[in-house]
Amino acid sequence: MTQMSISNKSLFISFEGIDGCGKSTQVKMLMNRFESDGIDSLLVREPGGTQISEEIREVLLKNRNENMAERTEALLMTASRAQLTHDVIIPSLDSGLIVIADRFKDSTLAYQGGGRGLDINYLLQLNDFATFELDPDITFFIDVTADEGHRRLNSKNPDRIEGAGKIFQEKVREQYLKLARIYPDRFIVLDGEKTAEEIHQIIRLEIKTIREK
Ligand code: TYD
């Protein structure tokens, strides 16, 4: 396959993990790699990514909103996702771009499902409604323990969800591991204790494999 025909094929990649897993570093490394290889790609982050979604993000993450009901949280996360999917992700994939999502629907299943304990079946439906049933082609789950994630976050000012505590993050992680078993075709579990460069190399290899399929 030539470089040209490879780069015209759209691909939807998502990154997932608990807070402090090193996801942002990997997203950045991958974007830089695509850029130096001359491959058109677009990065989106959740919650957020459009003006409306960024406004929803503020409501979601403000520490002042500590009494937000769990269902409100789930609805706002998926509302932000609906706008982003409609305005940005679907049109970009349609035009042949590679889209990298720093979190997508699995975050809702892990955080609001595993972490907050909401019914997964409702969340699956909400997610499908919000995304026109779009799923990532490949999902990189960077796995660290809640202890490790907490340690790495220590220097930062935690937002409302990061501040939910270690036991919460442990439940989120457990749910991610369950999702990896439910969706083995698209989930790649990466050991977040490896070096950033080692993780990046595995990610590159997986993407190369899927693009050549
Ligand atoms: P952010 O600062 O973007 O964190 P990160 O860099 O870890 O992605 O904050 C997003 C927070 O929102 C993060 O704690 C995960 C949480 N979240 C949910 O609880 N549910 C969701 O559906 C999404 C997309 C994020």
Residue 6 lies inside a defined structural domain of this protein: no
Residue 2 lies inside a defined structural domain of this protein: no
pLDDT of residue 157: 78
pLDDT digits (tens, 9 = 90+) for 67-107: 999 999 999 999 999 999 999 999 999 999 999 999 999 99
pLDDT of residue 6: 43
Out of 26, 107, 148, mutate this one to test ligand 1's pocket (max ligand atoms within 8 Å of CB): namely 107
Residue 60 lies inside a defined structural domain of this protein: yes
Centre of ligand 1 from the C-alpha of residue 185, in Å:
24
Enumerate residue ranges in the chain where pLDDT < 50.
1-7
Residue 1 lies inside a defined structural domain of this protein: no
Number of domains in the chain: 1
CATH number at residue 50: 3.40.50.300
Domain that holds residue 59: 11-211
Q: Which two tokens stand for residue 162?
A: 């990061």
pLDDT of residue 5: 39
Residue 180 lies inside a defined structural domain of this protein: yes
Centre of ligand 1 from the C-alpha of residue 138, in Å:
19
Alpha-carbon distance of 40 to 101, in angstroms, equals 14
Out of 56, 65, 103, mutate this one to test ligand 1's pocket (max ligand atoms within 8 Å of CB): namely 103
Residue 78 lies inside a defined structural domain of this protein: yes
Q: Which two tokens stand for residue 46?
A: 């959740």
Atom of ligand 1 nearest to the CA of 17: 7
